[in-house]
Structure 1
Amino acid sequence: MTLLRASLAAPFLLVGLSSGCGEESIDPLDGGGGSSTTGGGGEGGVPVVLPPLPDVEGIGILEDDNPDPAIVEVNLVARPNELALLDGPETALLNYNDQLPGPLLHARVGDRVIVHFTNELEEPTTIHWHGLRISDQMDGSPMIQNPVQPGETFTYDFVVPDAGTFWYHTHLHQIEQLERGLYGAIVVHEEAFPVFSAERVFVADDIRLDDDNQVSPFLTSGPDIGAGRVGNTLLVNGRTEPVSLTIPRGAIERWRFVLSSNSLYYGLRMRGADARVIATDGGLLPEPFELDRVEIAPGQRYDFEVRPQPGATEVVLEAMIFVLDENDQVVEAPFELAVAKIEGEVQTAEPAYPEVVHPPVDAAPAEEIKWALSGGVVAGQVEFTINGESVFVGDDHEHVVIDTFEPNVPVAITIRSNVSPAHPFHIHGQFFQIIARDGEPVFEPGLRDTVHVRGAEPATILSYFENPGRWMIHCHISEHSENGMMADIVVGEASAHEH
């Protein structure tokens, strides 16, 4: 989608409304291998045979090398790569398994996942499994895991406890490694999943390219630091043009959407279809809901139920992005991300959704705390803070724990910013629900791991902190987290292994 280059010549014409130890393995969560898809437990001890996972279209899938149906064992390699994003020279990138985005990790809830990771970059790296509530030892946080050095390997080994749409990405030197393409999608299906006519995954990003199709230089001051780097070219599933596909009339499809951008956020809307939101960051909703559009921030995910409308000829997924027009006025413009031609017809089969229960949001919190996001210039360098603390990755920096929580106790956290236009704020290893903005209740249903803190408007979340361990919290804009807007929290017992 070169439309941004053609219509938005300067980097900030998307305006500021954008918001380790090599050769080692640690036991997975609880040391177990998860539940088997064919294990005992049926009536009379007869093994329960679960249906095969449905295909998920859109990106290539990681090949499972393990014959055990309850284990997904794959190989993942990070290395330099070149891909043709636009006409002309290929773009020098960093990718997993030479794909952009990286290949899909596909599993069923309860599966044991084993990822044999090899670092063929010229610098250290880790992999964070964004949204998975796994052991902190496997989370990829450089605060706990020693980064995987060039030429070394690490085996990530964990059980996936939740179904949903997640993603994985580098968690070291993110300003460059993430921009150059080190990210991929994860789909974890429910044990008894709703059946759709088709399932598709869309991984959206933006990248800033120069006139030679190369990643533009990374700036160390100015708007790129203050608001976060924004690209001039949109990507969907690694392509610069809208995804093209077909959908039959009568179909009901599940479209999974991951926004892997650095700071660009936007509205999503569907034309030519009746669409409902059926899942957010943490999986299926108790009740799907209809909206003309949803707002999505970096790191967040939505799943949509998509039904072609009777009179439509195509279904179009659009991003509504603030840009500058020819008169240098800020306007919201639509950009097509996917276009599905309606061809043929199938018998409509309604999906059967499992019962979903979320923790209550009206429970009186045992504690109410505040996280203040701020920043300034220290010794000539921009530093961002959480509650006045700047935290940096590295052996020569202190690892700051700003809060400790008891597991399974409701806590309300109000996150407020007095710096930068917005912060997509991410909590590792936990889910929460968004209950208020600027002190007023809001309708933003679903479990989340990332909340968009918009400008000076405080956001209040409620979490039960169900996953013990030591967990990173941070702004998902790389320039903010890499310049101090990160810290750790501890839930229950602190991790026994800390880098």
Structure 2
Amino acid sequence: MKKITSIVLAVCGLCAPVLHAATINKTYCVGSLSKTLSGQSVNFWGFSDCGGGGMMGGGGMGGMGSATAPGPLLEIGAGDTLNLTLNVNMMTPQESSPYNGHTIHLHGADVQTSEDGVPETNDNTVTGDTYTWSPLPGHEGAYPYHCHVHTVKHLEMGMYGAVIVRPRDASGNFMNRLNQDPATAYDYSQVYVLSTVDPAYHNASGDSTVFADYNPQYFLIGGKEGKTTSAPALTLAAAKNKKAALRLVGMHSTNSTFQIKDGAGNVKPFTVYIRDGRALPAPKTVNSLDISPGQRADLIVTLPSTTGTWYPQVTYKKLRDNAPYATVYGKITF
């Protein structure tokens, strides 16, 4: 396995220096699992945390040795060094050659080509490897990781997850901020991994013509359907007068629009601070936000002074004409 020494560069004065950087070593394996979606059993492939030290993020995704889709959630600090190893001995199931094996691609991360997990480029083995990344201060935010072997198939099979890059304080502790800016402070946080499922892709392989036409049947947040406000995909227990950070990670293969509504259907504003791992020049307060495949957004919503329930929601839309497929709901109580 290769090992690249990463160098954290000095950046602009708006970015705090790295005072307490950590090295985080994680080892992932590949396994199979099944999900019941709308009463139907669908086979998935997923990543699992199968050993190694480091820090495991919250959010209920992933566990030691058990494959999940999405895969385990990782939280690291800006300036940390992540060594993410894909175990060479635990990489089944997989397809036949030339689409055999798996990689981990840190989507949107600034890494050397040899760390990118794309088998068509230099020195990216599909038989197990270590991927090293040291995100710079100023690069805080939500990032996805996914397999980059026969991506049209393996991404659809569930081989993806999220990495959250967080700021650290002078003692090395994670800060409850989106980045070093005090305006991005929050009280609660949750990760929304968006995904869609075309069952035909799960049964096809190789160069099947099935892959030329995407027809999703299931629409998920965090691997769950959440078809109604009474049965949401994710629930966040917060409190009135507090701020909730939501991190949107687009691993879907359609268009989508994110909104937050109250129980009466009234749209609520939220403020976007980071898009695709970079702070916006100025925060943007909006009532809706489009998230295309591969895109991410880190936002904060301020909860009201009275108790109640709001419903973050994602409406998935067709790529051809933007007509809606379905809406998937989250829930925030306060």
Instruction: Compute the TM-score of the two structures, normalised by the length of structure 1.
Output: 0.50
| CA distance in structure 1 between the partners assigned to 2:156 and 2:72 by the alignment | 17
What whole-Å deviation, never above 9, does each CA across 1:133-162 have from its counterpart, x for those lacking one? 12222111221233323xxx3122232222
Contact 1:165/1:186 (CA < 8 Å) preserved in 2?
yes
What whole-Å deviation, never above 9, does each CA across 1:48-83 have from its counterpart, x for those lacking one? 5x6xxxxxxxxxxxxxxxxxx61111111122x123
| CA distance in structure 2 between the partners assigned to 1:283 and 1:254 by the alignment | 16
Per-residue deviation, 1:260: 0.2
Question: Is it true that 1:215 corresponds to 2:202 in the alignment?
Answer: yes
| CA distance in structure 1 between the partners assigned to 2:330 and 2:125 by the alignment | 37
Aligned to 1:163: 140
Aligned residue identity for 1:108: G
Change in CA separation of 1:107 and 1:138 when aligned onto 2, cut-off 3 Å: same
| CA distance in structure 2 between the partners assigned to 1:103 and 1:304 by the alignment | 21
| CA distance in structure 1 between the partners assigned to 2:145 and 2:193 by the alignment | 11
1:206 pairs with 183, 187, 196, which one?
196
Contact 1:83/1:92 (CA < 8 Å) preserved in 2?
yes
| CA distance in structure 1 between the partners assigned to 2:317 and 2:70 by the alignment | 25
Aligned to 2:26: 74
Moved more, 304-313 or 265-274: 304-313
Per-residue deviation, 1:90: 4.3
2:126 pairs with 140, 148, 159, which one?
148
Aligned residue identity for 1:136: T
Per-residue deviation, 1:198: 1.0
Aligned to 2:78: 109
What whole-Å deviation, never above 9, does each CA across 1:331-352 have from its counterpart, x for those lacking one? 547613312223xxxxxxxxxx
Instruction: Compute the TM-score of the two structures, normalised by the length of structure 2.
Output: 0.73
Q: Tell me the number of residue pairs that the alignment of Structure 1 and Structure 2 aligns.
A: 273
Alpha-carbon RMSD:
3.0
Question: Is it true that 1:341 corresponds to 2:333 in the alignment?
Answer: yes
| CA distance in structure 2 between the partners assigned to 1:112 and 1:124 by the alignment | 25
SS at match of 2:69: coil
Contact 1:26/1:137 (CA < 8 Å) preserved in 2?
no
Aligned residue identity for 1:187: I
Report which of the two structures shows the higher radius of gyration computed on alpha carbons.
1
1:278 pairs with 273, 277, 301, which one?
273
Aligned to 1:139: 116
Question: Is it true that 1:83 corresponds to 2:60 in the alignment?
Answer: no
Contact 2:46/2:160 (CA < 8 Å) preserved in 1?
yes
Contact 1:85/1:239 (CA < 8 Å) preserved in 2?
no
The residue correspondences of 1:383-402 to structure 2 (distance < 5 A) are none
Aligned to 2:47: 96
Aligned residue identity for 1:75: T
Per-residue deviation, 1:85: 2.9
| CA distance in structure 1 between the partners assigned to 2:152 and 2:281 by the alignment | 36
| CA distance in structure 2 between the partners assigned to 1:322 and 1:27 by the alignment | 41
| CA distance in structure 1 between the partners assigned to 2:322 and 2:168 by the alignment | 46
SS at match of 2:73: strand
| CA distance in structure 1 between the partners assigned to 2:197 and 2:111 by the alignment | 30
Aligned to 1:178: 155
Structure 1's unaligned 5+ residue stretches are 1-23, 36-40, 51-68, 324-328, 343-499
